[in-house]
Amino acid sequence: MATILIVEDSHVDATMVAHMLGKNGYEAICASNGTDAIKIAEESQPDLIVMDVVMPGGIDGFRATRMLRQNPATNHIPVIIASGEDRGHFRQWGFRQGACDYIDKPIKEPVLISKIALHLNGPALAESRA
């Protein structure tokens, strides 16, 4: 079972995403800010991270993604940026920080699951799960 780290400051949103993941055979662990996300990623070595962008605590999702990419202990973990900001530059900036994908909020379960499958297992399995 793959482990997904959900980085989300909204408890309601984190719980919703964790439920989606559980229904689809993934184990979810959560962090509520960028600082905790980096620590948990180093310690738990999740298979993939779903990262909110706007969070309290000084380290936003973009900076946390960049820090994860620069850390040899975590640079292999794919990061999917999740944001409700409908701005093209958010998407571009996420990719420049090292994210492998971008998902719009509110998160839709089929989109989330297909993107996770794509980055964990490749395109063929992603299509079979969609």
Q: DSSP secondary-structure letter at 21?
A: H
Report the mean per-residue pLDDT for the chain: 91
Question: Residue 64 and residue 97: Cα distance in Å, rounded?
Answer: 9
Per-residue pLDDT tens over the stretch 20-45: 999 999 999 999 999 999 999 999 99
83-110 per-position pLDDT tens digit: 987 667 888 899 999 999 999 999 999 9
CA-CA distance, 24 to 79, in Å (whole number)? 19
Domains of the chain: 3-129 (3.40.50.2300)
What H or E segment, with its residue span, contains residue 49? strand 48-52
